[in-house]
Chain A
Amino acid sequence: MNPVESDTPLSSHHDDHPHVPGPSLWPVGFAVGIVVLLVGLIVSWWIAGLGAIVALVFAFLWVRDLTAGTALAEAPEVEPEGAAAPAAGDGAAAAVVAGEETERYPRSRFLEISTLGIGVIIGGVVTAPALGFMVAPAFLKQGTKDIDVGPIDEFPEGKYVVTTFTADAAQGTVSRRTAYIRYNGQLNGLPSFTIISNHCAHLGCPVQPNGPLDNAHTTHYKDVRLIPSISIAGFGCPCHGGQYDTEGNRVAGPPVRALDRYSFSIRNGHLYLGTPFSVSHVDGAGATAQIHKWPFAFPGEHVNGIESWLYPIQPPH
């Protein structure tokens, strides 16, 4: 004897059938469409469009399959509690009678909704500032202060100086950062500097100079430490092997763009680092280099090309 059959009270009950969608091949087509769309994003526009169309068509078929034959439309109306007073009689008949006799908008219903509503309002009033306090400070008052890294004659022409400074004195050592600063000589009568951030454009590890440093001639200005270099052939990242040339252009490895740079100003003969910015690539070298400059972005984010569409809005840095 089959145990399911022996279990008559269960199998005869209409709840016994699992509410699972029937077998359908449409999701497979949908998945194929998505894959074609993603491949198309890299390869070519018309392949992406084709994938989008395939995905949309199969998504429509799939949804139509899912919604066909569901019992959602047949769900019985739940009898409101206020109208259930004469429940002793026949259910359907009583409901009809009660519906005619009772008020359209019973008092109990009003109290129910107002209690819930007040609860929602109180909950919102308490939660909103707490959530705001959790999120907002990460985005407000970001900006950077200009940092004095010392007199400009600390920076010999044509050689990088490894400059480590405290970005925010109030934060302490956690805000220690390093920039590679090279004096390029005069351009149109004004001093030119190349100031490269050491944050790798792959995932933010500290890039290291590829070449010997002149540690013996390390100098300090306030809490800024300046280590001159002997000769630097580029920069390399110890984490995942990203390599950059002397202008910060990516030459190998996973980085998606060139190294970030700092804007600068010169006041009273001192070099000040300003706001950092991102760079897609640099043409040329030194004072006459063409820097393709973009708003500051997190490491790993494309700043130009098709992939930059993935990051349409940047948080206020």
Chain B
Amino acid sequence: MATQKLTRSQQAQQAILYPVDWLEERSGLVGGVRYFLFRKVPGDTNWFQTLGAATLTAFIVQALTGSILAMYYKPDPNTAYASIQNITNNLWAGWLVRGMHRWGASVFIILMFMHMGRVFLFGAYKYPRELNWIIGVLLLAMGLGEGFTGYLLPWDQTAYWATVVGININGTAPFLGPFLAQFLQGGTYINADTLSRFYAIHMLLIPGAIFALIGLHLYLVVRLGVTSPPWSKEAAGTGPLNGKVTRPARSGLTRFTKRGSSR
């Protein structure tokens, strides 16, 4: 321990840093988070490259509001509609949280497509990032699956008939379509179990898969680096990067380099 008397601000700093150091020493988590947040990206990244983070935020909002709605929602044909009415009309801020989930779903889907469009137009799906594009497409499919299964849950006429039509569209797929339709509705017709089935898929199965795929998606983003925009002078080798060793932008070029060599 320091024999010298510490100033008040030094004491305060130590009090804050102590738990952080404690955590870092035992887990390395602080360094990991610092590495993730303060990693090198190309100097000329674009505002459009925030769409992925926006999509992630929209998903977190969905996960959070959905978990809370699940505390009041009852996935049973006889009570589902009434429980939604109760959430909307009686519970404090229920209309707000349900609205966030309802409209946030559209925001999530729209942002996914915008993010996809950005990646496409920037050519960021090219080598070595093909796998991350594929994972992104799976995430898009999962997101659409969330939209489809979530639409039934209000259990009103719109929800019911939209789901009938949606399931039967699935049913017209060649060969396995009829089996897919029957699996989705849990029988030959929509029945008492269909609602809880959709609820389980909507609440547990798909979100679990989405969490896992987002983890993989982000891992690959960090590992492979962020792309420069297609108009980037740096990436073309004619910009300010040229000859300046101090600029750390090399990690974000379209060509994947051996790990660690560019950082």
Interface on A for B, CB 8 Å cutoff? 1-4, 6-7, 9-10, 13, 15-16, 18-20, 135, 137-139, 142, 144, 167-168, 170-175, 177, 203-206, 239, 296-301, 310-315, 317
Q: How far is the CA of A242 from the CA of B173 in the complex (A)?
A: 20
Contacting pair B168 A299 (CB below 8 A): yes
Contacting pair A9 B261 (CB below 8 A): yes
Chain B residues with Cβ below 8 Å from A18 are 127-128, 255-256
Interface of A, helix, strand, loop or mixed by DSSP: loop
Chain A residues with Cβ below 8 Å from B182 are 138-139, 298, 315, 317
Partner of A300 from the list B169, B187, B262 (CB cut-off 8 Å) is B169
Please classify how large the interface on chain B is, using the bins under 10, 10 to 19, 20 to 34, 35 or more: 35 or more
Contacting pair A138 B127 (CB below 8 A): no
Contact residues, B178-223 vs A (CB, 8 A): 178-179, 181-183, 185-194
Interface of B, helix, strand, loop or mixed by DSSP: loop
Instruction: Give A141's nearest chain B residue, CB to CB.
Output: B187
The 6 A-B pairs with the shortest beta carbon distances in the complex, nearest first, are A298-B171, A300-B172, A310-B174, A18-B127, A203-B168, A204-B168
Partner of B257 from the list A16, A173, A297 (CB cut-off 8 Å) is A16
A32 to chain B minimum Cβ distance, whole angstroms, is 21
A92 to chain B minimum Cβ distance, whole angstroms, is 23
Instruction: Give A173's nearest chain B residue, CB to CB.
Output: B77
Chain B residues with Cβ below 8 Å from A298 are 168, 171-172, 177-178, 181-182
Chain A residues with Cβ below 8 Å from B69 are none
Contacting pair A13 B185 (CB below 8 A): no
Instruction: Give B237's nearest chain A residue, CB to CB.
Output: A3
Chain A residues with Cβ below 8 Å from B255 are 16, 18
Contact A172/B258 with A1-B242, A139-B182, A298-B172 known, Cβ cut-off 8 Å: no
Chain B residues with Cβ below 8 Å from A299 are 168, 171
Chain B residues with Cβ below 8 Å from A300 are 168-169, 171-172
Contacting pair A10 B164 (CB below 8 A): no
Q: Is B19 located at the chain interface by the 8 A CB criterion?
A: no
Having A298-B177, A299-B171, A300-B169, one finds 9 other A-B pairs with CB under 8 Å, namely: A3-B242, A16-B255, A142-B187, A171-B192, A172-B192, A205-B161, A205-B164, A301-B171, A315-B178
A201 to chain B minimum Cβ distance, whole angstroms, is 10
A119 to chain B minimum Cβ distance, whole angstroms, is 19
Q: How far is the CA of A139 from the CA of B128 in the complex (A)?
A: 43
Q: How far is the CA of A167 from the CA of B188 in the complex (A)?
A: 12
Contact A203/B165 with A10-B262, A18-B255, A138-B186 known, Cβ cut-off 8 Å: yes
Contact A301/B188 with A4-B237, A203-B169, A205-B164 known, Cβ cut-off 8 Å: no
B175 to chain A minimum Cβ distance, whole angstroms, is 7
B183 to chain A minimum Cβ distance, whole angstroms, is 5
Q: How far is the CA of A173 from the CA of B161 in the complex (A)?
A: 15
The contact sample of 7 A-B pairs, CB cut-off 8 A, is A7-B250, A138-B186, A171-B191, A174-B77, A239-B165, A298-B171, A311-B177
Q: How far is the CA of A15 from the CA of B257 in the complex (A)?
A: 8
Q: How far is the CA of A139 from the CA of B174 in the complex (A)?
A: 18
Contact residues, B145-175 vs A (CB, 8 A): 161, 164-165, 167-169, 171-172, 174-175
